């Protein structure tokens, strides 16, 4: 086969392979009985006990704030902070969970996506989703510090320790990473254990979705016994139901998350973005598999590079002949 014919065939093979899309990868399904958390923003009083407990249990350093250090008042997630309570305000900020002159709290940490982008993009499998609990974990010994997970997370959660010479990724692991392992010992995540109002509730995703639906069915002002720690734990308090936004954030966003939110103001106000139901991981992996189906993309790339090299060689030959160098040889 002549070289020109080979290049045409290789290019044609690559284009033909790329033109035939691979089967679309659907969203991953929630793990039955996977661990989950329900955060009810209307119950949160902003005490930040969860932040202090997270720092203490996970051995996280304080945040430097100028000449001061802050254990329970960092402004956002960082390489020193895995869990943060933030506040949204509007106008005079007098009315809790009200859009007019109101304010509301939101707890930010890893949402433990059902189909996590950080796991999909990690080139060394340092980010993993536990097949039994669904907890998204990070192995610092495997991590190479590429920070793809930082850029891929739609919730801006994983943070890199830029303050350390050999920095690592920091994110919530439900207090169950090696050396802490509270869930394996039958304990609660630290933030849930210390929450005085039950704003953070722990359990399986199924039972917490059921609890969230019960709350959304309440009429504003209707008395309801809000549990603490877990549904059915036997501890809690009775209070009038607020006016909820009729949506469980995390039930379907990007295929669902294992941290669910109920709020009294629109989720976007609290930094919870509007997202499609199809996960980004399923989209990117479908595109990737289409490109590499039948090794089409590498063949097409080789054909393109070979064509460029041949074109340049031919041009040099023409220039040489114009300068008379061919005749001199």
DSSP 87-156: EEE-TT--EET-SSSEEEEEEES---BSS-HHHHH-TTS-EEE-TTT--EEE-TTT--S--HHHHH-TT-
Instruction: Give 327's pLDDT tier (boundaries 50, 70, 90).
Output: very low
The enclosing H or E element of 255 equals: none
Asked if 267 and 247 touch (Cβ cutoff 8 Å), the reply is yes
d(CA 157, CA 55): 16
pLDDT at 17: 53
Give 11: exposed, middle or buried? Use CB within 10 Å, 0-12, 13-18, 19+: middle
User: HSE (CB half, 13 Å, CA atoms) of 19?
Assistant: 6
Question: Whole-prediction pTM value?
Answer: 0.83
Give the CATH number of domain 35-277: 3.30.70.20
Q: Are 184 and 121 in contact (CB under 8 A)?
A: no
Q: Where are the domains of the chain?
A: 3-24+285-321, 35-277
Pure H helices in the chain? 3-19, 49-58, 117-121, 148-152, 190-194, 205-216, 280-291, 296-322, 325-328
What is residue 328's predicted lDDT score, i.e. its pLDDT? 46
The helix (H) or strand (E) run that includes residue 186 is none
pLDDT the model gives residue 290: 79
pLDDT tens for each residue of 167-208: 999 999 999 999 999 999 999 999 999 999 999 999 999 999
């Amino acid at each position: 086969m002549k070289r020109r014919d080979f290049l045409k065939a290789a290019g044609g093979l690559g284009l033909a392979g790329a033109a035939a899309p691979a089967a679309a990868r659907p969203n991953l399904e929630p793990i039955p009985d996977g661990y989950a958390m329900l955060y009810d923003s209307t119950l949160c009083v902003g005490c930040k006990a969860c932040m202090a407990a997270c720092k203490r249990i996970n051995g996280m350093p304080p945040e430097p704030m100028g000449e001061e250090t802050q254990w329970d008042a960092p402004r956002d997630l960082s390489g020193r902070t895995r869990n943060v309570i933030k506040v949204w305000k509007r106008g005079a900020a007098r009315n809790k969970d009200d859009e007019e002159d109101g304010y509301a709290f939101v707890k930010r940490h890893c949402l433990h996506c059902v189909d996590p982008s950080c796991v999909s993009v990690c080139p060394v499998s340092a980010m993993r989703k536990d097949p039994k609990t669904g907890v998204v974990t990070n192995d610092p010994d495997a991590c190479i510090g590429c920070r793809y997970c930082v850029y891929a997370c739609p919730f801006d959660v994983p943070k890199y320790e830029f303050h350390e010479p050999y920095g690592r990724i920091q994110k919530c692991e439900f207090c169950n990473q090696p050396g802490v392992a509270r869930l394996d010992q039958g304990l609660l995540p630290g933030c849930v254990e210390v929450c005085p109002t039950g704003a953070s509730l722990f359990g399986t995703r199924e039972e917490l979705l059921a609890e969230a639906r019960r709350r959304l069915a309440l009429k504003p002002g209707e008395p309801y016994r809000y549990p603490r720690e877990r549904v059915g734990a036997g501890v809690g308090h009775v209070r009038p139901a607020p006016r909820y936004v009729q949506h469980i954030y995390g039930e379907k966003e990007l295929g669902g998350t294992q941290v669910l939110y109920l709020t009294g103001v629109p989720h976007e106000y609290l930094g919870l973005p509007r997202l499609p139901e199809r996960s980004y991981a399923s989209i990117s992996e479908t595109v990737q598999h289409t490109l590499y189906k039948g090794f089409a993309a590498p063949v097409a790339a080789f054909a393109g590079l070979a064509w460029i090299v041949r074109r340049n060689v031919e041009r040099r030959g023409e220039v040489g002949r114009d300068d008379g160098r061919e005749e001199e040889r």
